[in-house]
Amino acid sequence: MIKSYIKAISTHFPKKIRTNDSISEQFPEWNSEKILQKIGIKQRYIASEGECASDMATQALLNLLEEHHLEKSDIDFLLLCTQTPDHILPTTACIVQSKAGIPTTCAALDINQGCSGYIYGLSVANSLIASGNFKNVVLLTVDTYTKYIHPKDKGNLSLFGDAATATLISTSGEYLIKKPTLGSDGSGAENLIIRNGGTRKARNENPDDPDNFIDMKGGKIFNFIVKRTPEVVLGNLTLNQWEINEVDLFIFHQANTHILERVRQDMEIPSEKFVIEMLNFGNTVSSTIPIAFVEHQKNFPEKKKRKVQFVGFGVGYSWGAICIEQVKKS
């Protein structure tokens, strides 16, 4: 079977920033320090009005091409993961292909997945490479959750940010992609949902209708993550014949610092092997893992990271884990 590798990752953030101070101005009882202590976030990037998923994903893709000296003609598949597409149809990946000037010989496909989306996307890209039909797949992650937060929802206003990333998965590269573990449980769908806007229930013009916005039952999400994550982590390590103490770096979906610390402590993972990178970005949904990986490499270039495990979990419910192993230095 043809092996696949993570060859390069680039990121993009909107220009607009929402600080804790700006949130506390709107909610005086929710002061800046309280936000920082409770969820570990100081600021988050916010898509401006009229700035959509395709705009941000296109810029992440262009950053990838420029930063890593890639040719547009080399890309033969665009895989875009988002839950906030520009339109119900057409496919946002097709819009990005055109905006970025990628040749029309390139395939384009959207994946509707959230907090586990990067793991699902890597798994699909891995399979595309393994098929022998594609050599260079770009996985784009992008979400604009902030457009779906009720203006009076101080919790989600504090938690979520917007971002986009682009990952090149190829037949050669720095990190070998190993076997994934994926799962889902739709019985938890109601615990993180936007009820209006699909064919089940149309979005209406009432600006105060809570069903037009994100409804997250934080306690149930917390319990799901704390219960499910350890078995996913250990199961995926077993699948890849790794022991937990062999792993140099764990990068989980950056849901919030409280959840991450709880899982880390429950699993007795040393803090120096566990990445928390939310302070300046917030929860960017499917983009949190690649952002955390890029930032960690930038901030700690000397730190050993030969064996790395990515873990995602959240809306759906859905979850996944995947191991990557460094085979050559960048």
Please report, to the nearest 10 degrees, the dihedral formed by the alpha carbons of residues 109, 113, 114, 117 taken in order. Answer: -70
Whether residue 213 contacts residue 231, with contact meaning beta carbons closer than 8 Å, is answered with: no
Please report, to the nearest 10 degrees, the dihedral formed by the alpha carbons of residues 34, 40, 46, 52 taken in order. Answer: -140
Q: How confident is the model at residue 330 (pLDDT cuts 50, 70, 90)?
A: low
Residue 169 pairs in a beta bridge with 6, 137
Q: For residue 321, which of 240, 221, 218 has the smallest C-alpha distance?
A: 240
DSSP 3-state assignment of 25?
helix
**Percentage, residues of the chain above pLDDT 70:** 99
**Within this chain, do residues 256 and 285 fall inside the same structural domain, yes or no?**
yes
**Within this chain, do residues 168 and 184 fall inside the same structural domain, yes or no?**
no
For residues 54-69, give the mean pLDDT. 98
Q: Please say which residue of 140, 173, 206 terminates a domain.
A: 173
- Cα dihedral across residues 218, 46, 77, 289: positive or negative: negative
**Within this chain, do residues 130 and 199 fall inside the same structural domain, yes or no?**
no
**Within this chain, do residues 54 and 114 fall inside the same structural domain, yes or no?**
yes
**Within this chain, do residues 216 and 157 fall inside the same structural domain, yes or no?**
no
Q: What is the extent of the structural domain holding 315?
A: 179-326
**Within this chain, do residues 194 and 85 fall inside the same structural domain, yes or no?**
no
Domain CATH for 299: 3.40.47.10
**Within this chain, do residues 147 and 219 fall inside the same structural domain, yes or no?**
no
Q: How confident is the model at residue 16 (pLDDT cuts 50, 70, 90)?
A: very high
Q: Please say which residue of 139, 173, 207 terminates a domain.
A: 173
Q: What is the mean pLDDT of the chain?
A: 96
Catalytic residue numbers read 115, 253, 283
**Within this chain, do residues 235 and 95 fall inside the same structural domain, yes or no?**
no
| 289, HSE (Cβ side, Cα atoms, 13 Å) | 30
Kindly report, residue by residue over 155-181, the tens digit of the pLDDT.
999 999 999 999 999 999 999 999 999
Whether residue 62 contacts residue 164, with contact meaning beta carbons closer than 8 Å, is answered with: no
Q: For residue 164, which of 136, 181, 139, 195 has the smallest C-alpha distance?
A: 139
Distances (CA, A) of 1 to 127, 128, 131, 170, 288: 10, 11, 8, 14, 30
Kindly report, residue by residue over 126-153, the tens digit of the pLDDT.
999 999 999 999 999 999 999 999 999 9
For residues 225-234, give the mean pLDDT. 97
**Within this chain, do residues 223 and 313 fall inside the same structural domain, yes or no?**
yes
Report how many domains make up the chain.
2
Whole-number Å distance between alpha carbons of 240 and 295: 26
**Within this chain, do residues 93 and 155 fall inside the same structural domain, yes or no?**
yes
- pTM value is 0.97
According to the model, what pLDDT value does residue 205 have?
Answer: 85
